[in-house]
Structure 1
Amino acid sequence: MQEDKNSAQQEDKLKYYQILGLDESAKEETIKKAYAILLKKHKGNKDRIEEIDAAYNHVMGYYVVNEDEEQYAASNMGRFGNFWYHNKVPVIVLLVTTFALVVLIINTIRTKPTDVNLHFIGDLYVLDINEVYDDVGTYLENAKAPNVEQLVLEGESMLEMQFASDARMKLMSLIASGQMDVIISDAKTFYYLASQGLFMPLDVSKDKSGQFIVKDGTFGSGTIPLDDMLNQAAGNDKKTTEKQETGTPVRQKNDYAVYAVDNMDD
């Protein structure tokens, strides 16, 4: 086995001399001159230059074969290490991109489509929008994925004015898309939106069991006080006024109005 190995090494050494155009008896000075001439002759030929360099280094003894390194390079781990060294950046980018896509797909699958949209619009200040979100889920049993948002349309400071500007743009987008189911607003905002033909007038009342009864009505007849929960969320701590014996809802000064959005097809 050792003899075969020595024979192979001898053959490799002879091959290196042949690449340099020399025989094994060539002296060091001759080898250096031949190496310099070949470099000039094959200048620009990268593959040929690398071959000449390797031959020169082996012949001059500058290159020492490390058996452990050769065995490692020939092993699977060696090949993997070499691949990782040269391709780690694109591999990392690919892994990160794949992970992001998987997370996005999982979130898309798990995210339920919104089934009811509740918007506080205008001069209403909701201390904690998450509490309103929880209450909507509690009081509206059929709402499995409610969306609750607050749009403040006016502001005093520069920051508030910027937020208000963004809110007005979003409001226009919501109106155009029809993605508003319940609107809670102050009187100023309500009358502005009503003047734009956003609402459909309704008569709203409750039956003996407390269920809402909604019928077509004339303008102004759709006014109904909010439930205590919604009034508190809108910053009005007063309880809503109970209906009179006639069953007609009575709107107090501090009550807000709830109207259905007229987003139905003609």
Structure 2
Amino acid sequence: MNLAQLRAFHAVAKHGTFSAAAHVLNISQPAVTQNVRALEEAMGSRLFHRRGTGIELTADGDDLLPHVHQIIKGLEDVSARLENGKHLRTGHLAIGLCGPHVAMPLIRHFRSAHPGIRIDTRMHNSSLLLELVAQLRVDLAVVTLTAPVNDLVCHLLADQEVLLLVPAVHDWAERAEIDIAELQGQAFVTREQGSMTQRIFEKALEERGVGIQTELVLSSREAVKEAVAAGLGLGVVLDKELGHDTRLVGVKLTGADLYAAEYLIVHPEVSELGAVREFIASSLQLIVK
């Protein structure tokens, strides 16, 4: 077992194919394949299931990945400390996003100071991103939470409020606010269960004893927006994710606790390492500004 083998395994696991790993590592695809096979021989087990269009981690590969991830991040940190103090010239960050609106300014600010850091993003709902951070499958994530998570390092980025999303031509579009009780029996397009926005909304409905009619369950806020604009039902959205679509209006909801926040979350084992540490510092600097 050697570092080249660990880097190859880590890159394939992160990027999903041997060709993508070769591109990131700037080596040939056969070299990546050879290193992974050598590591599998050293481990005495298969680390990937080879599929027609990609790969999947085996159970042994899944167990190994967090440990290798920590090694790679540790090496990046050592490299950063040896080269121009703590200035990062090269490296890689995998960032999970539940929405782009809060995260993109953070990425832009970090990239301006560290253009050599390669950034990959993954869009998922908050529940799945919490799992990915806990498993060290992404380096950090920007997620919607109602409170910090005890087992992770959580930095508050912005407060959020759940708004009622209505078409601009709807009778309620001119209202300043709507009590949640008025939603009784209304047709809605909703997000999947892993969506924190949806969980907050459903809890508020339950606490007030309000029942809605679910017309569609969709997997992204963009799909919800399009469905609401098409008149398929009402929806909900966080205020910083409303955007500037003239077909839609966000109306304040009253009569329930409909508040959350955006957090930058990271596993404590990597929060002080290399590019992860610098991204956190850059993000908090931007928030203070």
The structure richer in helix per residue is 1
The structure richer in strand per residue is 2
TM-score, length-normalised on structure 1?
0.22
